[in-house]
Structure 1
């Protein structure tokens, strides 16, 4: 058996143990970020090598000579592709049995794909858009998760199917391009098609497929067919966007279609944002022998603008139009505006990121000679040089502020609009870049129109960038360096380049810009990685507890009475009418339940908690929250994971009549025959029986070899026990069981916390005590009774549920050896409650297992407390 010293040491060293698997799990985010940057670096080097004979002027010429008819066709196919993408969401909603207005679905889907195609990580970035919009339309978190899973898997499987079919047909055409025999390509394509066909046949007509303990209900044949058609149209249209921009080549559309599908698939698998660099490498490598590489590069640049930038701008324009019509009273306009308000921050965040990249990349590309000649006639060289250098740093500032825009920070709004206005001015001073200035003006327009959405006070200096954003910055910096080397590959390097300041010498300007970007981005990364030490929380004052109790009395959540324990810190809203109770474990600030107070105070209180935790160098966690809070958590950048289900009994319908209550009736009758008597002791009389209650509590702890818990559970503290009524069972005049009854003045809900009984209490005493408390609360006019949460209950194991749900469901089914999950739910089920989901919400990039472990340690008093119960 471990000694107390051993356990304390284990508690301190927990995060350093676990071998290779533990190391990989703890550093998963960092490892993925490093691998992503490495993959992009390899792709960037490959592009540089593949275009060894290509010159920048050739690429510009290829862009300039692109036919207008080709651009118009590309715009048409882009519209067709995005129109087909809408039906991913439409099919997903029909599959889960939900119907929403088509205009709302169209705006949500269009915006989601505009962001996902540009920012990358479609399941996350586009998923966040869907979550924000669909919560406004009444979908539950589980429904939204199923929609996201459907569209993600539909695209992945559809891409595999369409690409395999195309490869099967034109293998002989593709084979010579990559020096692989066509027979091998057909065998690979045939294996993919066979695997997909097997899945369809096994799950035909919506049959359930079991893989171990996991059950998946696959779509029926009609859904499969309809979704395959949608995916085929989408990929064919998006491939056509690039194909019509390419010059005439020896490869036909079917062959190019297969190459495009493979390039898109590998770009997604690379985890590089938007597949940037990986997609381009594959296209150039396969088409280099049949099309001039300079023409391919020019077409790829134009493809990115048409397929990524324009849809994003259209989405912002559509939402901005809704914002400008905020005084229109038509219900449809009002509904669209509410959805637009949820989407706009993410759209502007992505657009700011895109324009930041544009500013960075334009700082390493030369200015047309004609423009430089014109500028030299009116402006001093020092002003042009300064505008060029500062523009690159403004681009980096916009990239950093883009994350804050997604979180609706007022500071991010100010940084973005000031940076955009200055960059707009400098774009004209450095190069008369009219297109660049127009895009920046459009961003300013979007920011001004949506100013009311960015009201969260926060300091950008306290914003530690996540691994994904640091990865994006690293990718952009590497891209800038590669573009610099590509553009000036014919310029021989010399130390003197750093000090050359002439209108005609542009390589030195690019070098200085890259140096500035590298230094500032490195400083940002170091600042984010070297987080401040986690600060200790100040003990809560008696006055703060009294203020919180006054709020608790006037609302309807009985469990909020746990604030009376005084073992949790309290954060009040600005008006003092709501509060969050929370504790700290490791680097986690863990809020218990939803914030207590009126609904209007919740959004900013949630945000302030997240921001304050971040300022203290900690991660924010919300434990046991309701679905109502999830949209506010999503707005604050938190991810939600199902934790279990809460059992709630409707007291208005509660009565021990009918067949389903037979067992409880028999238990109650037996308890009466055993001589048990129920009574409720009011708070003012509890001190008179405190000694008896303490004796029962101590015997219960000793019999269960347990210790007092905390945080989400109350402990036997005389002041806490005496603060609410106590339901007791007596036998021969002696108390043998008790439970403290939590209630508020609104009489909306009642609950219990401490439930303890003597070892000699008759069998079934706890069931009888609960029945009596429910009947007592019903007589007092209470509406419902909170039986508490059943952990890991109700986890989805169907329809490609998230890994968290599948693991949780498996533990619930097979984890009885370690915790009585099923037994706890079975006990609560005796009272025929309504089951309501409860969630764990954690800061983006944080593993839910770390957050859940910290919550468990906080409740149990550290590892030693958990091990010793």
Structure 2
């Protein structure tokens, strides 16, 4: 039996563990960023050390002597690899039971992998490409999440299977390279294959596997087999790209295939953008003993260009051509524009990141001697020195602007196009760099033809760079320094280098460029990290509320009448014909429902709200939004999570006839026998009974030990209650229950907000009240009735559902102790409504739990209000 001292000690240990876990969760993003930079530094040092005998001129010579046939073969295998990648998405869509036009899927998949392979898992995400494109094609956030999960999981499992099979074949060849006995490698490979075989067997014929209360339907054997073949073909083709670029080696293709698979896997796990440095380190470490290291380095550079850069350029070129053909009435071009308009900003963002890296790295590498001789005959030294230095700074500027391009900011577009134009000029002045100038010209061309996509007014100075982008900047700057040391490793350092200005002195120019980008990047990072303090929002005025009410009356959203409470801030569109109502909680600006107003006013209004929240140092959150708003939120960089389901009754079909309405029919009959009478009190007459309504409200609050809510619910305020009709139930002439009816002049939708009754009201009074309100609204010509949302209802807990959905479904199923989730849905289900999904959209990188907690505190009036009900 444990002593009290032992139990107390155990509690203390649990508290310490909880504190550590809490710390790790709180600073997870920062910790990952720091570890990513640390891993890259280790990889960079390893490359520098492994290539100790390699000289820059040797690498350039190896690069220029690469056979044209090898390059053409690499291009062929790149095409085969990207063709196979399209079937990742196609298989994922078939797995979730969705069908989309193949050309649209192919363009989306190709663009997603072009961005993902270039920028990696950190700064830019292939998932963002899919989310933007598939949202426009009609897929829900749940479906898109499942597609992304299928693609990611299938690649990971396929990579593990392919690597394990290859390891079985060449374990004796790989073992000596990493000082591990081949038998152990084979045992590891067998263990991996057994585990994968168990997963395939468990999911045969699409069987469900239960993990506690969560049921997951695994892909059937046919899906597993087909996806394995796709993954194996993809990895084989991409490995062949690098293999044909390498000179003849002692390692055969099967052995290289295993090495390549391991290098790719470790590059992904490192979280370094595109696995840059980590992938190269593993390849050099394993091939350095069998191939000249200068040849390996030159092959890796070509591999990055062919497999990473060229597909990105092709994707941008294809969409640019479609943009040019917008003046031509051609169905194919029109279709590509619809999808391409969603993808182009992300593609240009990734391309800008590449161009910025190119300009920075070229500033720390020497100019070819023949080009330098030509320049010295025509240009004075100060111009060449200045062009070299400012070109590197322009490269960093384009890297920073890349994030704004992904967000479709007009400021980022202007900065990018001017920076690229100046960089193009400087590339000719500093080194007659034709290829560099050509890529910059192509970038400018792509920006010009896609100008219509970058119309969001925003200042780059107000942008706060995320941890991912700061990490990418750090990796680029550190990489530039490593390249500088590699190129000039034979140059002895001295303080005099900083002040040497000669045509032939390349090292000082590179040193000054590296210092310039280091200072500028540090300044940008510090400026970004010192976020502006949150500001207090100005209280809403009666004039603003009156303007908002005028907009509400012209729309068909009954719940928008909550703006009448005057407890929320209001942001109007530029024309004043639409608005967002929102409040601030913690560091969250939380918008309630969809913006109210014409559809064409929504995109700019949503973006203005996101920008205003970011400028105030806060996160933007949209609470209880409809599927129609998801594509606009995706464009603004928000992620959506299912929040629950809204119950909507079609009033044209509503009548208490038939078997399914028997219970409500009996309830209504019993209420009439109990002497209940229904009446609708018009707004002008509500003040006459406001005292009776207040008595019912106060009694209801006291009986339920509750306090008034806010934000998404109204409170009993005489002005608010008197602004709309009120449905009441009377017994013996006394009001025993009431509900205020929300409606607009369009008569499209009706709803209720406050629903309160006396403790001694007859049983079933609220059911009767709702039935009478529904019949009243139907008689008035209303089309539908909004019964409100059932939180966490309809959350999927199976078929590779997102973690958010599975947790929400579990809470809905077992959380009755804290909230009447199932009871609320059961009440609404009495009226046989149509269930429509509602979502929570949050800024990228923000945990939905934080946003939901802020919304809960806002509705409940803080922590005390939530605890008290």
Query: TM > 0.5 between the two?
Result: yes
Alignment of 1:181 with 2:181, yes or no, is: yes
- Provide the residue aligned with 2:584 in structure 1: 584
- Provide the residue aligned with 1:51 in structure 2: 51
Moved more, 810-819 or 237-246: 810-819
- Provide the residue aligned with 1:692 in structure 2: 692
- Provide the residue aligned with 2:9 in structure 1: none
- Provide the residue aligned with 1:622 in structure 2: 622
Report how far residue 544 of structure 1 moved.
0.7
- Provide the residue aligned with 1:403 in structure 2: 403
Report how far residue 122 of structure 1 moved.
8.2
Superposed, 1:825-836 pairs within 5 Å as 825-836=825-836
- Provide the residue aligned with 1:245 in structure 2: 245
Report how far residue 640 of structure 1 moved.
1.2
- Provide the residue aligned with 2:10 in structure 1: none
Alignment of 1:794 with 2:791, yes or no, is: no
Q: Report the count of equivalent residues.
A: 853
- Provide the residue aligned with 1:85 in structure 2: 85
Report how far residue 21 of structure 1 moved.
2.6
Moved more, 660-669 or 501-510: 660-669
- Provide the residue aligned with 1:5 in structure 2: none
- Provide the residue aligned with 2:257 in structure 1: 257
How big is each residue's C-alpha offset from its partner over 1:209-231, in whole Å with a ceiling of 9 and x where there is no partner?
Answer: 11112211111222111111111
Superposed, 1:264-279 pairs within 5 Å as 264-279=264-279
- Provide the residue aligned with 1:285 in structure 2: 285
- Provide the residue aligned with 2:11 in structure 1: none
Alignment of 1:110 with 2:110, yes or no, is: yes
Report how far residue 291 of structure 1 moved.
1.5
Say whether the 8 Å CA contact 2:123–2:273 is kept in structure 1.
no
Unpaired runs of 5+ residues, structure 2, are 1-16
Structure 2: how far apart are the matches of 1:376 and 1:145?
57
- Provide the residue aligned with 2:811 in structure 1: 811
Say whether the 8 Å CA contact 2:141–2:641 is kept in structure 1.
no
- Provide the residue aligned with 1:455 in structure 2: 455
Say whether the 8 Å CA contact 2:122–2:272 is kept in structure 1.
no
- Provide the residue aligned with 2:32 in structure 1: 32
- Provide the residue aligned with 1:662 in structure 2: 662
TM-score (norm: length of structure 2): 0.97
- Provide the residue aligned with 2:12 in structure 1: none
Structure 2: how far apart are the matches of 1:835 and 1:801?
19
- Provide the residue aligned with 1:129 in structure 2: 129
Say whether the 8 Å CA contact 1:123–1:148 is kept in structure 2.
no
- Provide the residue aligned with 1:507 in structure 2: 507
Structure 2: how far apart are the matches of 1:622 and 1:126?
23
Structure 2: how far apart are the matches of 1:287 and 1:636?
45
Structure 2: how far apart are the matches of 1:591 and 1:246?
56
Structure 2: how far apart are the matches of 1:661 and 1:705?
33
- Provide the residue aligned with 2:557 in structure 1: 557
Structure 1: how far apart are the matches of 2:507 and 2:540?
61
Report how far residue 155 of structure 1 moved.
1.0
Report how far residue 104 of structure 1 moved.
1.4
- Provide the residue aligned with 1:472 in structure 2: 472
Structure 2: how far apart are the matches of 1:793 and 1:47?
53
How big is each residue's C-alpha offset from its partner over 1:263-290, in whole Å with a ceiling of 9 and x where there is no partner?
Answer: 1111111111111111111111111121
Say whether the 8 Å CA contact 1:113–1:122 is kept in structure 2.
no
Structure 2: how far apart are the matches of 1:608 and 1:337?
25
Say whether the 8 Å CA contact 1:123–1:152 is kept in structure 2.
no
Moved more, 160-169 or 797-806: 797-806
Report how far residue 123 of structure 1 moved.
11
- Provide the residue aligned with 1:773 in structure 2: 773
TM-score (norm: length of structure 1): 0.97
Say whether the 8 Å CA contact 2:168–2:186 is kept in structure 1.
yes
How big is each residue's C-alpha offset from its partner over 1:407-428, in whole Å with a ceiling of 9 and x where there is no partner?
Answer: 1111100100001011111011
Structure 2: how far apart are the matches of 1:28 and 1:648?
41
Report how far residue 25 of structure 1 moved.
2.0
Report how far residue 704 of structure 1 moved.
1.0
- Provide the residue aligned with 2:8 in structure 1: none
- Provide the residue aligned with 2:145 in structure 1: 145
Alignment of 1:747 with 2:752, yes or no, is: no
How big is each residue's C-alpha offset from its partner over 1:318-360, in whole Å with a ceiling of 9 and x where there is no partner?
Answer: 0001001102223332121111111111111110011001111
SS at match of 2:80: helix
Structure 2: how far apart are the matches of 1:655 and 1:187?
69
- Provide the residue aligned with 2:3 in structure 1: none
- Provide the residue aligned with 1:652 in structure 2: 652
SS at match of 1:377: helix
- Provide the residue aligned with 2:161 in structure 1: 161
- Provide the residue aligned with 1:529 in structure 2: 529
Q: Please provide the CA RMSD for this pair.
A: 1.3
Report how far residue 124 of structure 1 moved.
6.7
- Provide the residue aligned with 1:10 in structure 2: none
Say whether the 8 Å CA contact 1:177–1:287 is kept in structure 2.
no
Superposed, 1:417-428 pairs within 5 Å as 417-428=417-428
- Provide the residue aligned with 2:7 in structure 1: none
Say whether the 8 Å CA contact 1:466–1:844 is kept in structure 2.
no
Distance 1:279 1:317, change over 3 A: same
SS at match of 1:184: helix
- Provide the residue aligned with 2:683 in structure 1: 683
- Provide the residue aligned with 2:364 in structure 1: 364
Say whether the 8 Å CA contact 1:724–1:740 is kept in structure 2.
yes
Structure 1: how far apart are the matches of 2:169 and 2:823?
57
Superposed, 1:534-553 pairs within 5 Å as 534-553=534-553
SS at match of 1:760: coil
Structure 1: how far apart are the matches of 2:670 and 2:175?
81
SS at match of 1:329: coil
Structure 2: how far apart are the matches of 1:559 and 1:137?
28
- Provide the residue aligned with 1:7 in structure 2: none
Distance 1:124 1:836, change over 3 A: farther
- Provide the residue aligned with 1:858 in structure 2: 858
Structure 2: how far apart are the matches of 1:572 and 1:678?
39
Say whether the 8 Å CA contact 1:741–1:753 is kept in structure 2.
yes
Report how far residue 140 of structure 1 moved.
2.4
Structure 1: how far apart are the matches of 2:565 and 2:66?
72
Say whether the 8 Å CA contact 2:355–2:440 is kept in structure 1.
yes
Structure 2: how far apart are the matches of 1:372 and 1:336?
44
Say whether the 8 Å CA contact 1:247–1:295 is kept in structure 2.
yes
Moved more, 724-733 or 564-573: 724-733
SS at match of 2:849: helix
Report how far residue 159 of structure 1 moved.
1.0
Say whether the 8 Å CA contact 1:726–1:738 is kept in structure 2.
yes
SS at match of 1:346: helix
SS at match of 1:555: coil
How big is each residue's C-alpha offset from its partner over 1:84-119, in whole Å with a ceiling of 9 and x where there is no partner?
Answer: 111111111222222222211111111111011111
Structure 2: how far apart are the matches of 1:377 and 1:335?
52
Say whether the 8 Å CA contact 2:123–2:468 is kept in structure 1.
no
Superposed, 1:570-609 pairs within 5 Å as 570-609=570-609
SS at match of 1:325: helix
Report how far residue 132 of structure 1 moved.
1.6
Say whether the 8 Å CA contact 1:70–1:244 is kept in structure 2.
yes
- Provide the residue aligned with 1:198 in structure 2: 198
How big is each residue's C-alpha offset from its partner over 1:821-867, in whole Å with a ceiling of 9 and x where there is no partner?
Answer: 12211221121211111111111222211111111111111112222
Alignment of 1:76 with 2:73, yes or no, is: no
Structure 2: how far apart are the matches of 1:637 and 1:806?
24
SS at match of 2:128: helix
Structure 2: how far apart are the matches of 1:824 and 1:122?
41
Structure 2: how far apart are the matches of 1:866 and 1:248?
70
Moved more, 629-638 or 316-325: 629-638
Structure 2: how far apart are the matches of 1:24 and 1:176?
38
Say whether the 8 Å CA contact 2:364–2:483 is kept in structure 1.
yes
SS at match of 1:547: helix
Unpaired runs of 5+ residues, structure 1, are 1-16
Structure 1: how far apart are the matches of 2:104 and 2:122?
20
Structure 2: how far apart are the matches of 1:796 and 1:56?
56
Moved more, 458-467 or 135-144: 135-144
How big is each residue's C-alpha offset from its partner over 1:684-733, in whole Å with a ceiling of 9 and x where there is no partner?
Answer: 11111101100010011111111111111100000000011111111111
SS at match of 1:170: helix
- Provide the residue aligned with 1:443 in structure 2: 443
Superposed, 1:203-218 pairs within 5 Å as 203-218=203-218
SS at match of 1:647: strand
Report how far residue 177 of structure 1 moved.
1.5
SS at match of 1:535: coil
SS at match of 2:378: coil
